[in-house]
Amino acid sequence: MRILVVSTPVGSLGSGQGGGVELTAFALVAGLLRRGHQVSVLAAAGSVLPAACRRAQLWLESGVDQPSWQHRPQQSPVEIPAGGLLPRFWRRALGRQADVDVIVNLAYDWLPIWLTPHVATPIAHLISMGSVGQAMDAVIAEVAALHPERFAFHTAAQAADFALPGPPRLVGNGFDLSRYRFEPRPEPLLGWAGRVAPEKGLEDAAAVAAALDLPLAVWGLRQDAAYAERVEASVPPGTLQWRGFLPTEQLQAELGRCAVLLNTPKWNEAFGNVVVEAMACGVPVAAYARGGPGELVQPGVNGALASPDDRQALAEAVRRAQRIERAACRRWVEQHCSQEVFAGRIEAWLEAVTRGITSPQPPGPV
């Protein structure tokens, strides 16, 4: 297939601003290239593709970043800033649609979904978040009623947020496991990774680390500096080790040293990339039983679950997770979340999209 992948309009690829969508984009492009497809990527100016994606043609557009739906009230209207990157993406994508067989949209935005019934070349949407806005919920429900095959989701927990006409197509996510080194010998260190913002629940992980008298290494972009300062002030000095946003090679080398990764979402996390990245290094995960991480963590196999927002239960989950065989975590990722497995699911979905097939749906990835 000739495939155009339209990236997130929230920052350039490689900047970290796009969160987990960046990792998904790289895995999707690399996997489809290896399966023999012709792939182009439309992304913000300044974007850089990793070596595994270099055979893809990179189209760049300049413009104002699109505001994320993630940090706005549920009733917020659709907003596109003057000179916005989002409409410039789609002006270029639609101008080149005759050159491709399918357009893959990675942006969690109203415009490309609304365009779907009005465009000759099929647009396939990999939805990256759960419900965060009424306008988004409505347009997904409206277009899914007409073209259910055009939507794919990372997990069942995420898909359950939306009014869909039938069973969702679940594709999980994929990781280049050659980039993650298995570490059998952990240090007395807990880990936490993600955007440093309130919906990620870092304050709970910090409190648990303090209660267990263990340091907590924190990786990720400080999206909300005031929030980060409040979290640090809530625990004894030295509890938090701020490691910053790191490229995969450096992140996995540090992450693998952790005894346990804590995952503490306060919202319905669509997947949980850092959960899988930790497991790929052999690190078991203690997570709240909420959203995608609640599906990825298999108690006794690759981690332990705790009731959402229950810090005491999370501390107990850390203790259980420390007893898990680290090699089992890596094996689970190899079976369920490799880049090859993910690319196969994406390929099957896009083939169905180009043929207009709506059923039967394959089973979920986990």
Return the domain boundaries, the chain: 2-174+339-355, 177-336
User: Which residues in the chain belong to E strands, given as ranges?
Assistant: 2-6, 38-44, 57-61, 102-105, 123-127, 151-153, 190-193, 216-219, 240-244, 260-263, 285-288, 303-306
CATH architecture of 2-174+339-355: 3-Layer(aba) Sandwich (3.40)
Q: What pLDDT is stored for residue 338 in this prediction?
A: 94
pLDDT number for residue 202: 97
Q: Residue length, the chain?
A: 366
C-beta separation of 285 from 151 below 8 A:
no
pLDDT at 18: 74
Q: What phi and psi values does residue 180 have, to the nearest 5 degrees?
A: -120, 115
The pLDDT, as a whole number, for residue 49 is 94
The pLDDT of residue 223: 87
Residue 363: the pLDDT is 42
Distance of CA 39 to the CA centre of its chain: 21
Q: What amino acid occupies position 98? A: A
Structural class in CATH, domain 177-336? alpha beta
- 8 Å CB contact between 57 and 33: no
Q: What is residue 361's predicted lDDT score, i.e. its pLDDT?
A: 43
Do residues 205 and 182 lie in contact, with contact meaning Cβ atoms separated by under 8 Å?
no
**pLDDT by 10s per residue, the chain, length 366:** 999 999 999 989 988 777 788 989 999 999 999 999 999 999 999 999 999 999 999 999 999 999 988 778 999 999 999 999 999 999 999 999 999 999 999 999 999 999 999 999 999 999 999 999 999 999 999 999 999 999 999 999 999 999 999 999 999 999 999 999 999 999 999 999 998 999 899 999 999 999 999 999 999 988 899 999 999 999 999 999 999 989 888 999 999 999 999 999 998 888 989 999 999 999 999 999 999 999 999 999 999 999 999 999 999 999 999 999 999 999 999 999 999 999 999 999 999 999 986 543 444 444
CA distance 311 to 314: 5
CA distance 318 to 290: 16
- pTM of this prediction? 0.86
Listed residue (308, 276, 307, 275) closest to 199, CA to CA:
308
DSSP 84: B
How many angstroms separate the first and last alpha carbons of the chain? Answer: 27
> Minimal CA–CA distance to 152: which of 133, 122, 172?
172
Give yes or no on whether 2-174+339-355 and 177-336 have one common fold.
yes
Is residue 308 within 8 A of residue 315, CB to CB? The reply is: no
Non-local CB neighbours of 191 within 8 Å, separated by 6+ positions: 216, 217, 218, 219, 255, 258, 260, 261, 262, 278, 283
pLDDT value for 70 = 79
